[in-house]
Amino acid sequence: LGHGEIWCSTAVVITQCEVFLGVPVRQPQHQGEEAEPLIMTAHSQASRLPQFIAALAATLGGFVMGSQLGWTSPTKTEMVSKYSMSDLDWSWVGGILSAGAMVGAFVAGSICERIGRRTTIILTVIPCTIGWAMILWAPGTWMIIIGRALLGAMSGVLSCACPLYTNEIAETAIRGTLGTFFQLQVTIGILFSYIIGAATQVIPFSIVCAVIPFVLSLAMFFMPETPTYYLKKGNTNAAKASLQKLRGSQYNVDEEIASTQKILDEVEAQKLSFAQAFSTPAAKKGLTIGLAVMFLQQFSGINGVIFYASDIFRDAGSSMDANTATIVTGVVSVIGTFISTQIIDRLGRKPLLFTSDTFMAISAAVLGIFFFLKTGNYELAKNSIVKTVPLIAVCVFIFMFAIGFGPIPWMFIAEIFPPAIKGPASSIACLFNWICAFAVSFGFPLMNSSLGGDFTFWIFGAISAFGAAFVMMFVVETKGKSIEEVQRILGGDSDGSETTIEAGYKR
């Protein structure tokens, strides 16, 4: 998780909720010490059940987002036939979700600060309902694209508001556990779409997806607003009442409220101008590395695989039914995401990033070889055993993404930026991630149809191979290091012993 103090109004997360958006974190003083979050001083008498319930309710937003991400995979055949879509049309249907998310992500932080995290989450049901209605009653492709854009904007909002809410209501001892709920729900939502989409036609499937935001809003209606939001608005009594609901009636909230208010005051005092914040070499290098890992995450081709999984297996002539194979990959993604929560803090970021990219490169190369053999009508590609290669390769690809390049970039950008630039730098990195996601999801089917599956996957494999080398040469290990140590390394001190950089300044 991120060290230092985060003040961010527009930063967002897509697939991970480890970046604390608007949640200041007290900086550790030496290596190995845990960061102390804004409102999360652990007390043994605090009840954890209300926190788990609130986190589960909020992270249903991840389920909403996952169901929208996975919708394109099982629906393509019926939708293309019904609306006579070209490859370009379907690229827009798939890719516009990420484009809409850019807009939602950009404004989400400001909305959360104005009307609250809880209210923001509740109100997403309105645009989501309109978006699904446009898809259900679309007279043509153009309305489907507009509906998907609206759903994408809400995915961007939820990817900010839900993790923000979760991190602001959790105490230290269970912050990590609750922090994994959002990404886990995203993968479950994708799997849900794969299963329901394969079992039903587009209309009933879309109706089911349209109901999910109502469940989210209803659940959040009974949850309290975060204490942090109330304190930022100067409403101490409401903050105490909220924290009391989240910690239980036997918990003394005064100490935690006072600690929260103190850190908020410190964060406000440390704000710098944009130019000042990015003036140090460490800040510049940190931003460069942060953008690079975001680029490598998306240009591994993961969104193309998720959006068009059924197409991949159908084109490969897999021995398993395409929809069934897609469901298998969804299960693998859920398992991989769960495992990642157990090993990230044990093995470190850099080894997992390197391993993830290495095996994704190998998997993509194997997929490319298979499509090369199939396109060339080689007898080997017709072998029943060889036909299982696409399923195995895609499963390995998704699993390795889930344990490495899926969750870690979001944690990583929270750990490499000093407090003074953590907000704007995280915003830039997250917006850049959505841009890359749009490019891949829009370009994947076009590349596949024009270049063929072989060259498409070889290109993504080459990018992942480059990424593995980049990780080894330039990415710093942040596990167990304080923000000062990370900044010293980024500033050119390889052992982190000379220069101290704090809050964006060098001294």
Work out the angle between the directed axes of helices 49-58 and 172-179 (0-180°, nearest 10).
30
Same-domain pairing of 160 and 241 = yes
- Alpha-carbon distance of 6 to 430, in angstroms, equals 14
Least confident of 8-17, 107-116, 365-374, 420-429: 8-17
- 348 located within any domain: yes
Same-domain pairing of 111 and 69 = yes
- 266 located within any domain: no
Token pair of 307, please?
């959006």
For residues 450, 454, 460, 465, the Cα torsion angle rounded to the nearest 10 degrees is -150
Same-domain pairing of 121 and 244 = yes
Alpha-carbon torsion (452, 456, 457, 458), positive or negative: positive
Same-domain pairing of 406 and 489 = yes
Mean of pLDDT values over 35-44? 45
Token pair of 105, please?
């992500």
Which of the four pLDDT bands, split at 50, 70 and 90, describes residue 240? Answer: very high
Give me the amino acid identity at 171. E
Same-domain pairing of 59 and 21 = no
Same-domain pairing of 4 and 61 = no
Same-domain pairing of 473 and 506 = yes
- Alpha-carbon distance of 492 to 109, in angstroms, equals 33
- When divided into structural domains, the chain yields a total of 2
The answer, yes or no, to whether residue 414 has pLDDT greater than 80, is no
Token pair of 431, please?
């917006």
Same-domain pairing of 353 and 379 = yes
Q: Is 26 strand, coil or helix?
A: strand
Alpha-carbon torsion (310, 352, 350, 459), positive or negative: negative
pLDDT at 6: 26
- What mean pLDDT is reported for the chain? 81
- 91 located within any domain: yes
Q: Which tops the pLDDT comparison, 228 or 18? A: 228
List pLDDT tens digits, range 278-314.
Answer: 777 888 888 899 899 999 999 998 877 776 677 777 7
CATH code, 230: 1.20.1250.20
Chain-centroid distance of CA 235 in Å reads 31
Residue 161: domain span: 47-248
| Residue 494 φ/ψ, nearest 5 degrees | -60, -30
Same-domain pairing of 390 and 465 = yes
Mean of pLDDT values over 113-141? 96
Give me the amino acid identity at 111. I
- Alpha-carbon distance of 428 to 474, in angstroms, equals 20
Mean of pLDDT values over 87-116? 88
- 69 located within any domain: yes
| Residue 133 φ/ψ, nearest 5 degrees | -65, -40
Same-domain pairing of 6 and 94 = no
Tally of CA atoms within 13 A in the half-sphere of 147 that contains its CB:
20
List pLDDT tens digits, range 7-16.
Answer: 233 333 333 3
Answer yes or no: are the C-beta atoms of 394 and 194 closer than 8 Å: no
Give me the amino acid identity at 418. P
